Amino acid sequence: MTCPPKPQSRKVPQIWNPLPYFDTVKDDDQLDNIQDYSNFYETARTGTLPAVSWVVPNGHDSEHPPGLVSDGQAYVTSLINAVMQGPDWDSTAIFLSWDDWGGFYDHVVPPKVDENGYGLRVPGLVISPYAKQGYIDPQTLSFDAYLKLIEDLFLDGQRIDPQTDGRPDTRPDVRENATQLGDLLEDFDFSQPPRPPLILPPSGVQPPVNLPSSGVPVRVTKDKLYTVQPGDTLSGIAERFGTSVEIIAQSNSIEDPNFIFVGQTLYISVGSVPSSATSSIQALPSTGGSSATAPFSGGPSQGNPAQLYAVQLWDTLSQIAERFSPSVEAIARVNSLEDPNFILVGQTLYVPGNFVRQLP
C-alpha cells in the first residue's frame, strides 16, 4: 500500500524534514528557523544567508527511487548557482553529501569508532572559492566532521556531551572528538586567490565552455542564468530572451511550465528560437518520434539545425549517434564531452544535423 505524495510543510516532521521531531529544537524555540527552501534563494541573492544552513530536499528531488537522479542534480545545481551568484560567495563553503551509498558495493570495512561505528562510504564534495584544486582528502571523515567544523568555527569548539548536557542522550561518547576523525579545514587553502563562480546549467546539459584546470571559462556564449522576478511567467521570460517555453522547461527540468517561483534560477539558452517563431521542441523519448529542431547557439550561425535530446536509461553515445545520423565525435564536440563513454541519464544533448535517418 502506498500513499499519494502531499505538499511538504516546514512545520510537519517527516523523513525529509526531521528537525521538528527534535525536542531540543522545540525547547530552544528554534522551530521558526526551519524555513521553506525558497527562502534560501532569496537570502543567497541578497547576501543575508545565515552562518550555517542545512538544506534538505523533498522526496521528488532526493534521488531516491522512483525520483530521477537528473531532478536531484538540477535541484542541487540551482542552489549552488544561487550562492555563487550572490554577494556571499567569497566567504562560503558548500559541503555536498548524500545520506546513503546508493546500494553500490563497497569493499572497505568501515573503521570501528564505538558501539555505533561508521557506515559504508558516501560521496562528499567541498565547493568554495578556497577549496584546494583537484584535492582528494585522505583523512577518515564522517558526518561528525561537519558538526566538528561548525562547532570549532562558531562555538569555540564546544561539544554537546551526553554526560553533561542534562537531557536524555543515549550516545556512548562525543563523536566529534574521535581520534581518527579528520579535520575538514585541511580541504581549504586560504592563501590562494579566491576562485571565481562557475555557473552551471541546472538541467545537466554540458556547459557551453571549455574548462581548463583552473575552472575558469575560456569561451563565453550568450547563454545565461536568470533569476525569476515577481510577476514573471515562463512565456514572458521566453519572449524576452528570444527562446521558447519548451526549451527553457526542458533545459531546467521543469515538469509544469505554469509553475515557477520568485528567486528560482533558470538556465536560458539565448537565441535558441527567434522570438517571432513558434517552437515545436518537445521532450523526446529514446524510442523515437517526430523530430524537433532548433539552431545550436554554440555552433555556426547558419545551416546547423540541432536536435535537443534527453539521455534515457541504457543509452550510449554511439547508439544516439546511430539513431540521429551524426558521428559520436560530432556530438561529443558540440557538447564539450571529454569522455564519450560517460553520459548521464537526463542529460540534455545538442545533436547536430541535418538529419537524414528517420525512425520507424
In degrees, to the nearest 5, what angle opens at C-alpha 172 toward C-alphas 171 and 175? 75
- Amino acid in the structure at residue 9: S
Q: How do the pLDDT tens digits run along the chain, 360 residues long?
A: 666 766 667 777 788 888 988 888 988 899 999 998 889 999 999 999 999 999 999 888 888 888 888 888 889 999 999 999 999 999 999 999 998 887 778 888 888 899 888 988 999 999 999 999 889 999 999 999 999 999 999 999 999 998 888 888 888 999 999 999 999 999 999 999 998 998 887 765 444 444 433 333 333 344 567 778 878 888 888 888 888 888 888 777 787 788 787 767 777 765 543 333 332 222 222 222 222 232 222 322 233 344 677 777 677 888 888 887 778 888 888 777 887 877 876 677 777 754 333 333
Distances (CA, A) of 321 to 295, 324, 350: 18, 5, 11
Stated pTM of the model: 0.60
Length of the chain: 360
- The residues, any chain, with a CB within 8 Å of residue 63's CB and separated by 6 or more, are 69, 71, 72, 73, 98
- Cβ neighbour number for residue 261 with a 10 Å cutoff: 10
Joined grid coordinates for residue 80: 549552488
Residues ≥6 apart with Cβ < 8 Å to 293: 305, 306, 307, 353, 355
Dihedral, CA of residue 113, residue 114, residue 115 and residue 120, to nearest 10: -20
